[in-house]
Amino acid sequence: MQLVLNIAGKDVCTIEVWEDKVPKLCQQFREKLPQRSMLQHGKLLGDLMFFTMPIVAPWENLYLTEDVGKERVAKYGSPRGAVCFYSPRQQFCVVYGDEASDEPLPISYIGEVVDGSLELQIAGYETWFDQSRVVELRIAG
């Protein structure tokens, strides 16, 4: 399933969510997207942007946040582009840069950015200084 992340009225990137690994969450996306929220920066958690969504989903493709970063660095040289969902707080999380969280927090590793990596990185830096911009997540197409 492909999703489009729009920040402040501009399409920023396309995200591939792995339906085979997170089918219950994909079903929630089909039922509830598009959604708008307020974008935040995980200032203590690395190069991470996140927003809260009215989606309650069980853990799927469960990882520790530190392991998501390690796996992506081993595979791609950077954690950039990792997409996760933190179920307890209903947060959709996107790593936009080279610094990922190294805390042992459980998270659902749900997909990756497949287009717009540079635009996402710029948006991440902007979010550091200007939180609470409107973010919209919708199904591509």
Residues 51 and 37: beta-carbon distance below 8 Å: yes
> Residue 46: its pLDDT value, please?
77
User: Per-residue pLDDT averaged across 133-138, rounded?
Assistant: 97
DSSP assignment letter at 16: E
User: Per-residue pLDDT averaged across 107-132, rounded?
Assistant: 95
What kind of fold does domain 2-139 have according to CATH? Cyclophilin (2.40.100)
pTM metric for this prediction: 0.95
User: Per-residue pLDDT averaged across 114-141, rounded?
Assistant: 95
Q: Distance between CA 135 and CA 124 in Å, rounded?
A: 12
pLDDT in tens, 64-118: 999 999 999 999 999 999 999 999 999 999 999 988 777 888 999 999 999 999 9
Residue 131 has pLDDT above 90, yes or no: no
What residues does each domain of the chain span? 2-139
Contacts of 42 (CB under 8 A, 6+ apart): 48, 49, 50, 93, 101
Residue 47 has pLDDT above 80, yes or no: yes
> Residue 44: its pLDDT value, please?
67
pLDDT in tens, 7-30: 999 999 999 999 999 999 999 999
Coil, strand or helix at 74: helix
Residue 51 has pLDDT above 90, yes or no: yes
